[in-house]
Amino acid sequence: MKSLLQAAAVGLAMATTMGSTTAKAAEPEPVYELRIYTTNEGKLPDLLKRFRDHTCALFEKHGMTNLGYWVPVDKENGADTTLIYVLSHKSREAAKESFKTFGADPAWKQVREASEANGKILAKPPESIFMTRTEFSPELKVSASDPERVFELRTYTTNEGKLPELHARFTNHTCKLFEKHGMTNLCYWTPIDVEQGHNNKLIYILAHKSKEAGLASFDAFRADPVWIAAKGESEKNGSLTVPQPEGVKSVYMKPVDFSKIK
């Protein structure tokens, strides 16, 4: 009898574990949102203070997940006026509802009014791009492994019909070569909306020990015979990306003190 009870207990534990695993596997992939804020001159510290003291907590209160917050390293990319961040949502519909309740929250209205007592903070409406992870992207891990790291936001715009080929090149070659040359693949996304590049854009973030290390890594990557061969083979019928400066855009960024990802 004892052995039967033990077997039943083991079976129940296994069923519970399998049920939990199945439920976890069934969880839908979150929707990611890249948001870019441009402030009026001298107002970036006010914006950062508002996020640090209030906005991030209010986002979480209304069902949004704070991931990474960065400011550009270089002045030409908006070091003094730009905040770039990534949120995740359960779905596009959930994001819409979250921002609706956030905007109507009396606490937010009070914070916004107080923070803009001496003038508007934002120079224009925020830019927002809803995205999904690509099949070859690693899972986005929230960690503050190295506060000194810098990050690089890269956006590729492809020629018509070339996005699948670009994805294939990253899947088969590029991601592994990035790691080989000291870069960390953080996450890769495709915009959800056609008008924001669903059919022709790849957006991703890398991490580097420093901007100088990132530039050196790319020099070594571009000189790698494996990359040269892969690029040549993939572009036998023409370049995958549109001509510069629109083809590949890069912004080096440093995490702010309240960013979960560092």
- What CATH number belongs to 134-255? 3.30.70.100
Whole-number pLDDT of residue 145 = 72
Whole-number pLDDT of residue 10 = 43
CATH level 3 topology of 31-130: Alpha-Beta Plaits (3.30.70)
Indicate if the pLDDT at residue 2 is higher than 60: no
Indicate if the pLDDT at residue 8 is higher than 90: no
Cα–Cα distance for residue pair 228/224, rounded to 1 Å: 6
134-255 has the same fold as 31-130: yes
User: Please, which pLDDT band fits residue 26 given cuts at 50, 70 and 90?
Assistant: low
Q: What are the C-alpha distances in Å from 53 to residues 59, 109, 111, 140, 184?
A: 12, 14, 9, 25, 30
User: Please, which pLDDT band fits residue 148 given cuts at 50, 70 and 90?
Assistant: confident
* Domains of the chain, residue spans: 31-130, 134-255
Cα–Cα distance for residue pair 143/186, rounded to 1 Å: 11
pLDDT digits (tens, 9 = 90+) for 28-48: 899 999 999 999 999 999 999
pLDDT digits (tens, 9 = 90+) for 79-136: 999 999 999 999 999 999 999 999 999 999 999 999 999 999 999 999 999 999 999 9
Counts of helices then strands in the chain (DSSP H, E): 9, 8
> E strands along the chain, which residues?
31-38, 65-72, 82-89, 127-133, 150-157, 184-191, 201-208, 248-255
Percent of the chain, pLDDT > 70?
90
